[in-house]
């Protein structure tokens, strides 16, 4: 399949097609309030950091979102434990205040289900790196959501994040794509996304009963969801893995 990669700054008329592309996000992450508040603003406020791939027929088949932010400033310095949520908040705060940015964070790479498995995710990651370099940055960081972790939700993330194959590459497929592009594992982000809802909300999202206290395994979730019927509350705190790409 022949594809061409553009930025929304170059092709702003394609924003609806980019946002409307079919994706495969698990239901559980669609209810993160920080993500919902910021993710949809990226095309309008950071169009040069939104890349998309078109196939021969002009259909959008992949996109990659990233944001610039200031890491080397007072009160920051280290990649945050709150991962994805925190870096989104920092990026939009820095934009409002006019703070000089020094780092680009990957936010997402999404490939349409019908073309997955063809290496397009690696190409989009490479294009993201190239775009950051073209804007004068020397590093891209990524709060990586390990793509196979949902298959073993009770495995501690620290163990999973540092698991490698005999060839030395990460065990996880998506982490492996980053490693092949030159990234190294920095640290775990133990609370990268947080989803909180009533039990009725969780029943609607998952189709599961959510009527017993304890940990509930939810399809697509990287760790179990904590259910507390006495409080009519369930909480999902998703860990990600920070990886650094030197450019």
41-80 tens-digit pLDDT: 999 999 999 999 999 999 999 999 999 999 999 999 999 9
DSSP H or E stretch at residue 89: helix 83-97
- Give the predicted TM-score (pTM) of the model: 0.96
Return all residues near 6 (Cβ < 8 A) that are at least 6 apart: 14, 51, 52, 54
Residue 201, pLDDT above cutoff 90:
yes
CA 26 – CA 5 distance, rounded (Å): 25
Mean pLDDT of the chain: 97
Whether 224 contacts 217, CB under 8 Å:
yes
For residue 2, what pLDDT is reported?
Answer: 87
Q: How far apart are CA 93 and CA 60, in angstroms?
A: 30
pLDDT at residue 194, as a whole number: 98
> Pseudo-torsion of CA 116, 118, 119, 121, nearest 10°?
-20
| pLDDT beyond 80 at 1 | no
Orientation of helix 120-134 relative to helix 173-180, angle to 10°: 40
The tens digit of pLDDT for each residue in 71-113 reads 999 999 999 999 999 999 999 999 999 999 999 999 999 999 9
Integer Cα distance of 10 and 246 in angstroms:
26
């Amino acid at each position: 399949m022949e594809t061409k990669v553009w930025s929304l700054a170059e092709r702003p008329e394609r924003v609806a097609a980019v946002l409307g592309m079919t994706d495969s996000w698990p239901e559980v992450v669609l209810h993160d309030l920080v993500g919902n508040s910021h993710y949809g603003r990226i095309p309008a406020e950071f169009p040069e950091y939104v890349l998309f791939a078109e196939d021969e027929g002009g259909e959008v088949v992949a996109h990659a979102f990233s944001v610039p932010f200031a890491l080397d400033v007072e009160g920051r310095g280290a990649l945050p434990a709150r991962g994805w949520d925190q870096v989104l908040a920092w990026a939009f705060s820095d934009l409002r205040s006019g703070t000089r940015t020094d780092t680009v964070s990957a936010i997402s790479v999404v490939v349409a289900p019908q073309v997955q498995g063809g290496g397009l995710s690696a190409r989009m990651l490479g294009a993201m790196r190239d775009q950051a370099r073209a804007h004068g940055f020397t590093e891209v960081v990524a709060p990586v959501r390990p793509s196979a972790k949902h298959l073993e939700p009770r495995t501690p993330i620290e163990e999973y994040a540092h698991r490698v194959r005999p060839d030395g590459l990460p065990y996880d497929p998506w982490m492996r794509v980053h490693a092949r592009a030159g990234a190294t594992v920095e640290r775990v982000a133990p609370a990268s996304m947080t989803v909180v809802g009533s039990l009725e909300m969780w029943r609607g999202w998952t189709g599961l009963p959510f009527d017993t206290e304890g940990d509930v395994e939810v399809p697509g979730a990287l760790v179990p969801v904590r259910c507390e019927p006495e409080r009519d509350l369930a909480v999902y705190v998703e860990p990600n893995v920070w990886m650094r790409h030197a450019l």
